[in-house]
Amino acid sequence: MQILLFLVKVLIFPGALFTACVGLFLAGIDRKVIAHMQKRIGPPIRQPMYDFFKLMGKETIVPARANKLVFLGAPIAGFISLAIVMLFIPIFGFTAFSGTADLIVILYFLTIGGVALIVGGSSSGSPYAGIGISREMVTMMSYELPFVLVLLSVARKVGGSTLAFSMNQIADYQAANGSLLFSWSMIPAAIALLLIIPAEVGMQPFDVAEAETEICEGPLIEYSGAALGMFKLNTAMKMCIMTGLFTSLFLGGIRTGTVVCDAIIFVAVCAVVTLVCITTIHAVTARLKIEHLFKFYWTVVSGLALASLILVWMGL
């Protein structure tokens, strides 16, 4: 019974199926709103779902120079790690899985999602993929530092000198003391996390690794059919996970009592966060160069996160 419940958690509710559906829904909202911002009608909200199923029905070509096992295994490894991350993110009152160091586990599993892209791209043997993965690595290095600082400041704020890395503890703290976004020492950290989300998901100003018009989607260039569909799904799932992480770290504390209501409010809040940090920034900016991206994250965003950390450490 316990195993069955665990499987349901991994495969359906907050795991793979839920994350994938919400992610595709958020990606659809993103495309629709951007179209409206550009005075277009835009694709229907279920367009990413059509894209995914179309790619599932296409022929999957493995290039002659590629290592077949790594080439096809990378998107699946990314999918599994991202499905597991969602187990650790509480949906307001509901947590599927909670330990003492959830934040660290989330950090590592999110990295696996990015590493899958790098490994898959490098196994394809295309020079465009080579440029793409080198950029992806630099992007990961640039946003990991402020990301860790943000997580540290949240842990310090919630747990005091013992540092709370448990998502459950963070959710309980917010239920008792109100959302962390409304305590002013956490506002710089919240802004920093909002700026990290587009880089993690690979959206417009920070999509140097997958620059479509420049290096033809970089690591994904040789992918086709189902494997490409999995990577597109991974991107959508990352959208759900990152906005969900923001929601539970900074906007937690809502308790309706039933899981279904919690999940609906959770998805709605995720959609709002997507509109703020992904869609709006995407619509008003052009792509950065990789060195500018690196500089931006290590100065502005890290600075914001560090400011929050110092404020929290001083006990504010």
Partner 1 sequence: MFKKLIDKSASKSPWLYHINSGSCNGCDIELVACLTPRYDAERFGFKLAGSPRHADIVVISGPVTSQSRDRLVRTIAQVPEPKCVVTIGSCPQSGNVFKGSYSVEAPVENFVHVDVAVAGCTPKPEAIMEGLYTAALILKKKREAMHK
By C-beta, is 58 or 292 nearer to partner 1? 58
By C-beta, is 85 or 220 nearer to partner 1? 220
Smallest distance from the beta carbon of 144 to partner 1, in angstroms? 27
Residues that bind partner 1 (CB under 8 A): 31, 35, 38-43, 47, 49-54, 56-61, 212-213, 215-217, 220-225, 228
Smallest distance from the beta carbon of 79 to partner 1, in angstroms? 17
Please enumerate in sequence order all residues whose Cβ is within 8 A of that of 223, keeping only pairs 6 or more positions apart, or say none: 75, 120, 124, 231
The SS3 call for residue 155 is: helix
3-state class percentages of the chain: helix first, strand second, coil last, to nearest 5: 75, 0, 20
By C-beta, is 54 or 65 nearer to partner 1? 54
CA dihedral 290, 293, 297, 301 (to 10 degrees): -170
Smallest distance from the beta carbon of 42 to partner 1, in angstroms? 6
By C-beta, is 22 or 49 nearer to partner 1? 49
Smallest distance from the beta carbon of 287 to partner 1, in angstroms? 14
Smallest distance from the beta carbon of 13 to partner 1, in angstroms? 20
Please enumerate in sequence order all residues whose Cβ is within 8 A of that of 16, keeping only pairs 6 or more positions apart, or say none: 10, 79, 83
By C-beta, is 187 or 216 nearer to partner 1? 216
Smallest distance from the beta carbon of 65 to partner 1, in angstroms? 13
By C-beta, is 76 or 261 nearer to partner 1? 76
Please enumerate in sequence order all residues whose Cβ is within 8 A of that of 53, keeping only pairs 6 or more positions apart, or say none: 229
**In contact, 149 and 309? CB cutoff 8 Å:** yes
By C-beta, is 56 or 254 nearer to partner 1? 56
Smallest distance from the beta carbon of 276 to partner 1, in angstroms? 23
Please enumerate in sequence order all residues whose Cβ is within 8 A of that of 75, keeping only pairs 6 or more positions apart, or say none: 116, 120, 223, 227, 230, 231, 234
305: which 2 tokens? 């996160």
